Structure 1
Amino acid sequence: MTIKVKTSSGVENKDDIQHLDHEIKELNDSNMKIEADMMQLQTQQISSMECNLKTIEEENKMIEQHNDSLLKELARLSQALINSLTDIQLPQMGPISEHNFEAYVNTLTDMYNNSEHEYSPECKALLDNIKQAIKGIHV
């Protein structure tokens, strides 16, 4: 009887082991498929991110080129304004130059915005000329 129990117990264990081996094989196959899917997904994500990065870099390059063009145009316009206003002296300011350009433009803007203030006839004439020039600008 003992032998039969051992034999029958061995047969059950063999079936259990085969069943477990089959489940382990299925789990390994499933894991390998999931890992392959994950690798493919990561590759796709990396490719997509690289493509997006390249697009962003190209856009940034175009923006930088545009900014450079705008800065050059601003420098050209600033120099043209400086050349146009070299003979015009604002109250409490020396002649316009690259060094005092911003202060000069700010003073001129303040004078223009506060035109009700009493200015000398030369300043009033300048402000009138500026108002006329601005009317001719169409944006």
Structure 2
Amino acid sequence: MSAQLRETATELADVLWREHTVYRDRAGGVVIRGDHVQRWISLAPSGGRDEILLRAGRILDGGTTAPARSEAVAGLTAGTAALAAICRRLLAEAAVETTPSAPVPRRSARPERSLETRYRGSRRHTGVGSWVVLLCVIAVVGLYVCNVALVYR
């Protein structure tokens, strides 16, 4: 299946982009990398027979790949044109998610916390183990005082 996956990825890469790099990833899948568009597509065997998992994501400024933004399962025998249509849809979804739709409002220096977060943040930090240690220290000091009192009688 890996040879067929590599062959399909090469054909698919030629249809999608003029400039591309095709390579195997660690999991046994094939990655098509389009550096000029800052996007990647991965083809990996899926659980079903003759099914592949298509995933698309973006390439970060440093050249590393970001996690997949979208994915789909398709039949390996669907043909290059059908797979290219699925990949274009996945790439479009990945592109839409990376562009901000509205300006992000500025937040205050101290973010407002919910009631539940306030309660969790204000509860006591003394646990059971701390109380046991504290009681043991008090017992040792008490025994020492009793011993000193008996000796000087």
Instruction: Look at both structures and tell me which one has the larger radius of gyration over its CA atoms.
Output: 1
Asked if Structure 1 and Structure 2 have the same fold, meaning a TM-score greater than 0.5 normalized by the shorter chain, the answer is no
* Class of the TM-score when normalised by the shorter of the 2 chains: under 0.3
TM-score normalised by the chain length of structure 1: 0.24
Higher share of residues assigned helix: 1
